[in-house]
């Protein structure tokens, strides 16, 4: 996908997300005891005098579903769409402590469900990846409403904060994800051209036009400086920061009348007087009263700023006063962007920043399975339980597929953390030498310190402020948090321990959500730990582009009939989806493994 195609795709996605967000606000007001279809029609009528105009404010994917032939013709076809939404949201909330699903998840589920209708996006007719599957492959088109409901419900319900779904309204095999980075446009201050302006030098001088620079020790109490646009950051012996001129950069003219000389951060001379020159000539700095810092007294004899040669000189009285140390004298300058050379051209350019956009792709891959049932089992399922066989096969596959997918991502995250333990593993040790805990509350309160350090370290690594995050915990990890004081931890009351689901089991009073990961996923292997457990810290992204894991749906899970035996139903299940670590290098490894050691026997 080239940049133009990526921009077009992102434009479509942005429009769909806006409409989906607006619709979800209205849908939240629907009365569950009344017909959703009737309330939807009332909503359209209330928001527009023209129904067609009203529908334009609705997500296109939802329009396609409600207008599809096999949904509109079925007795409860349209209601099945709303049931899918309502059931999916309810199940998501049950599994995630009452939170509403992200709008990206809802939009992704709606877009995926359109694949079962004649309104599905088929892509390029010459592209064989789009013409092998369609809604018409179902043995009976009457299953379309059921299939749509299942895809919407399970698409929302099975979503975890772990994966940020990238909406895919066009059904593309590749979905773009864009990383925009601001870089310095020139050498100025501590920044060099091409460096990230929000990187490790984000808080150092670039745009701010006040430059505090260390003067060179010329001996006998004299110090000099030649002004240049760029300088480097260094650390003094007393751990303070100093800036040293980079003489390889161009000279920098500065403004007269705003020159200040300081010793150990205290001003000793300036040219802030009415007779100073501004744009040329020599500006004489006036010494201030002698200053005493500790056992030393500093007295300025003379100081001058040459606006033509871009230099500053100062001499200290070493007879009646002390000579400052080699890096103790600084001069503060304001660069002069109005100054021109002999040709009439500006000498300095204002510092600029450039935006660099990098496009990465998330690629869907195919998965398939088969399911066979006898006609007796199918009819019994339908007659006694009212469950459609196609929908049941579809639902079973989706649940298992998503569960395996989450396990793959979590295992990969743990492996990456262990591969770089110095940066991505933090240890909570309940047995600290010299510290005696009288209560479990005292013991467990220290986990907040470790989690805080882990979050800060992760923010530094990714250069992104991390706000909310989740913890995915092992069996012993779950027991650890469940044993905490209710002032520190609030359980959701959700029963856990089965081997086929991930649940939110509680929340720390800091807002951190705790998710239980069953041993069947093979994520945490605790056998080697004596009285220990694990917790995986995964940040919650504010935008999908910054998420630890991203996913998309090109073709939703669909059922294809293939019966060689008249008394059996042999169905194939197929999808084409993606879920992977964020391809943007900056956000690729955003997890932190917390190792819990020497836990008390609970």
| Residue pLDDT, tens place only, 400-420 | 888 899 999 999 999 999 999
Q: Higher confidence at residue 48 or residue 339? A: 339
pLDDT at residue number 128: 33
Q: Read off the pLDDT of residues 421-456 as tens digits, 9 standing for 90 and up.
A: 999 999 988 877 556 666 666 777 788 889 999 999
Give CA–CA dist 341/367, Å, rounded: 68
Residues 209-219: what's their mean pLDDT?
Answer: 96
Mean residue pLDDT of the chain comes to 83
Does residue 133 surpass a pLDDT of 60? Answer: no
Q: Note the pLDDT tens digit of each residue in 345-388.
A: 999 999 998 887 777 888 988 888 887 877 787 777 777 666 67
Give the residue carrying structure tokens 């989450």: 406
Residue 333 has pLDDT above 80, yes or no: yes
CA angle 44, 48, 54 (to 5 degrees): 55
C-alpha 279/C-alpha 282 separation (Å) is 9
Strands 329-333 and 211-214: antiparallel
Share above pLDDT 70 across residues of the chain, in percent, rounded to a whole number: 86
Cα–Cα nearest to 117, from 87, 82, 151, 89: 151
Banded pLDDT at 143 (limits 50, 70, 90): low
What's the average model confidence in pLDDT over 190-206?
89
DSSP H helical ranges for 420-434 = 421-424
Instruction: Tell me: pLDDT of 212 over 90.
Output: yes
Question: Residue 206 has what DSSP assignment?
Answer: S
Q: Which residue has the higher pLDDT, 116 or 103?
A: 103
Which of 36-72 are b and which e, b meaning 16 or more Cβ less than 10 Å from the residue's Cβ?
bbebbeebbeeeeeeeeebbeebbbbbbbbbebebbe
**pLDDT score, position 56:** 64
Report the distance separating Cα 321 and Cα 323, nearest Å: 7
Q: What is the mean pLDDT of residues 254-275?
A: 93
Any bridge partners for residue 440, and if so which?
none
pLDDT at residue 435 in the model: 62
pLDDT over threshold 90, residue 6: no
| Tens of pLDDT, residues 529-553 | 667 889 999 998 777 788 899 988 8
Compute the average pLDDT of residues 97-125. 73
Residue 541 gets the label, from left (phi > 0), alpha (psi -120 to 50) or beta, of beta
Q: How far is the C-alpha of 517 from the C-alpha of 511, rounded, in Å? A: 19
Residue boundaries of the structural domains of the chain: 186-351
Average pLDDT for 326-338: 95
Q: Which of 114, 118, 120 has the alpha carbon at shortest distance from 148?
A: 114
* Rounded Cα distance, 134 and 160, in Å: 28
**pLDDT band of 486, cuts 50, 70, 90:** confident
Q: At 371, phi and psi to the nearest 5? A: -145, 135
Cβ proximity of 505 and 496 under 8 Å: yes
Residue 121 phi, psi (nearest 5): -75, 120
Q: Whole-prediction pTM value?
A: 0.71
State the average pLDDT over residues 325-330.
Answer: 94
């Amino acid at each position: 996908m080239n940049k133009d195609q990526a921009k077009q795709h992102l434009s479509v996605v942005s429009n769909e997300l806006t409409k989906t967000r607006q619709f979800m606000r209205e849908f939240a007001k629907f009365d569950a005891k009344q017909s959703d279809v009737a309330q939807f029609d009332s909503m359209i009528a209330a928001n527009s005098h023209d129904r067609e105009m009203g529908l334009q404010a609705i997500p296109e994917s939802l329009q396609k579903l409600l207008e599809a032939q096999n949904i509109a013709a079925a007795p409860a076809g349209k209601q099945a769409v709303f049931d899918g939404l309502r059931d999916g949201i309810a199940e998501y909330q049950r599994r995630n402590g009452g939170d509403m699903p992200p709008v990206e998840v809802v939009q992704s589920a709606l877009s995926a469900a359109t694949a079962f209708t004649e309104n599905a996006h088929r892509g390029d007719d010459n592209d064989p990846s789009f013409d092998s599957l369609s809604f018409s492959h179902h043995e009976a088109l009457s299953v379309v409403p059921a299939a749509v409901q299942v895809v919407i419900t399970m698409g929302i319900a099975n979503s975890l904060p772990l994966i940020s779904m990238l909406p895919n309204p066009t059904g593309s095999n590749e979905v773009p994800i864009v990383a925009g980075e601001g870089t310095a446009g020139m050498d100025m201050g501590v920044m060099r051209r091409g460096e990230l302006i929000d990187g490790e030098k984000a808080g150092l001088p670039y745009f701010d036009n006040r430059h505090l620079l260390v003067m060179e020790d010329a001996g006998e109490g004299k110090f000099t400086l030649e002004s240049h646009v760029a300088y480097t950051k260094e650390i003094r012996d007393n751990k303070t920061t100093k800036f040293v001129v980079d003489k390889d950069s161009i000279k920098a003219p500065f403004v007269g009348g705003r020159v200040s000389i300081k010793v150990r951060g205290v001003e000793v001379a300036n040219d802030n007087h009415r007779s100073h020159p501004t744009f040329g000539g020599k500006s004489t700095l006036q010494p201030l009263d002698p200053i005493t810092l500790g056992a030393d007294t500093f007295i300025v004899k003379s100081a001058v700023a040459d606006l033509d040669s871009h230099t500053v000189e100062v001499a200290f009285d070493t007879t009646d006063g002390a000579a400052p140390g080699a890096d103790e004298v600084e001069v503060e300058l304001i660069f002069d962007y109005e100054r021109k050379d002999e040709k009439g051209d500006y000498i300095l350019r204002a510092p600029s920043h450039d935006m660099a956009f990098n496009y990465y792709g998330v690629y869907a891959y195919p998965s398939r399975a088969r399911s066979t049932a006898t006609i007796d089992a199918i009819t019994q399922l339908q007659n006694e339980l009212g469950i459609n066989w196609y929908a049941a096969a579809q639902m079973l596959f989706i649940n298992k597929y998503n569960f395996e997918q989450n396990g793959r991502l979590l295992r990969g995250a743990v492996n990456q953390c262990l591969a770089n333990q110095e940066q991505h593993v933090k240890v909570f040790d309940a047995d600290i030498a010299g510290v005696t805990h009288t209560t479990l509350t005292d013991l467990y309160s220290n986990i907040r310190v470790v989690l805080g350090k882990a979050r800060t370290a992760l923010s530094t690594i990714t250069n992104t402020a991390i706000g909310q995050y989740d913890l995915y915990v092992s069996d012993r990890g779950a027991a650890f948090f469940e044993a905490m004081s209710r002032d520190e931890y609030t359980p959701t009351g959700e029963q856990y321990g089965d081997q086929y689901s991930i649940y939110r089991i509680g929340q720390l009073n800091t807002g951190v959500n705790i998710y239980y990961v069953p041993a069947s996923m093979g994520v945490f292997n605790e056998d080697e730990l004596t009285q220990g457990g694990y917790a995986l810290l995964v940040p919650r992204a504010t935008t999908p582009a910054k998420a630890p894991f991203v996913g998309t749906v090109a073709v939703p899970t669909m059922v294809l009939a293939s019966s060689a035996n008249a008394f059996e139903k042999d169905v194939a299940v197929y999808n084409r989806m993606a879920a992977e670590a964020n391809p943007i290098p900056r956000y690729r490894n955003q997890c932190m493994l917390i190792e819990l050691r020497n836990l008390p026997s609970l």
